[in-house]
Chains A and B, each alone.
Chain A
Amino acid sequence: DAKTTQPTSMDCAEGRAANLPCNHSTISGNEYVYWYRQIHSQGPQYIIHGLKNNETNEMASLIITEDRKSSTLILPHATLRDTAVYYCIVRVVRAAGNKLTFGGGTRVLVKP
């Protein structure tokens, strides 16, 4: 699975959009971009994933560049409860063996 690079930390103002970047310059054509987050002491929570096209769900939007070498997770209206470590993971989705490899992630602090 391709390696990802994320900023170590970032702050965001409550009510504003949070834009979390991720670089995955060695991504292969069959690898998806996944985002998870871990709120303090809790289990990781799935947010969103995509292959080529931009994706949106009730939690966030995922923007993937045309060359797929980078992506941005957007939390449209950050709340204090969005304070967490956000992980960008690139992996092949197999019929079996969906192991996730977590990197360091981005520690997001939403401030009032």
Chain B
Amino acid sequence: NAGVMQNPRHLVRRRGQEARLRCSPMKGHSHVYWYRQLPEEGLKFMVYLQKENIIDESGMPKERFSAEFPKEGPSILRIQQVVRGDSAAYFCASSPELPGELFFGEGSRLTVL
């Protein structure tokens, strides 16, 4: 049973470009969470999604950031018009339908030049 898969593991973008980060949850998991970790800082919750629904986006910046979890395919975290402050590690986690632990991927590291 494969774990949470994130790609790309490393992404370099220039200011103003778009970044797309993908997350495939563990098999059988229908809940996906995105977290951001700025350099030398803690993990900050961004958004929680179920299939085709955003449940909690209280941690998402108001502009340029969006997330989706379509019926088919991975969850996508999209950052438009990236700025240097977006440079961070972005972690995805998934959990099953019933209450359970969150399982994290290895993260996607975004560097904005």
Please name all residues of chain B whose beta carbon is closer than 8 Å to the beta carbon of A49 when the two chains form the complex: 101
Number of interface residues of B (CB under 8 A): 27
- The interface residues of chain B, by DSSP majority, are classed as strand
Q: Decide if the interface of chain A is mainly helix, strand, loop or mixed.
A: loop
Q: For residue A45, which residue of chain B has the nearest CB?
A: B104
The contact of A98 among B89, B91, B102, B105, by CB within 8 Å, is B102
A15 at the interface (CB under 8 A from B): no
Q: Are B106 and A97 in contact (CB under 8 A)?
A: no
Interface footprint category on A: 20 to 34
Q: Which residue of A lies closest to B58 (CB)?
A: A99
Measured CB to CB, the closest approach of chain B to A35, in angstroms, equals: 11
On whether the beta carbons of B107 and A100 are closer than 8 Å, the reply is no
Q: How far is the CA of A103 from the CA of B42 in the complex (A)?
A: 7
Q: Is the CB of A41 within 8 A of B89?
A: yes
Chain A residues, CB < 8 A from B42: 102-105
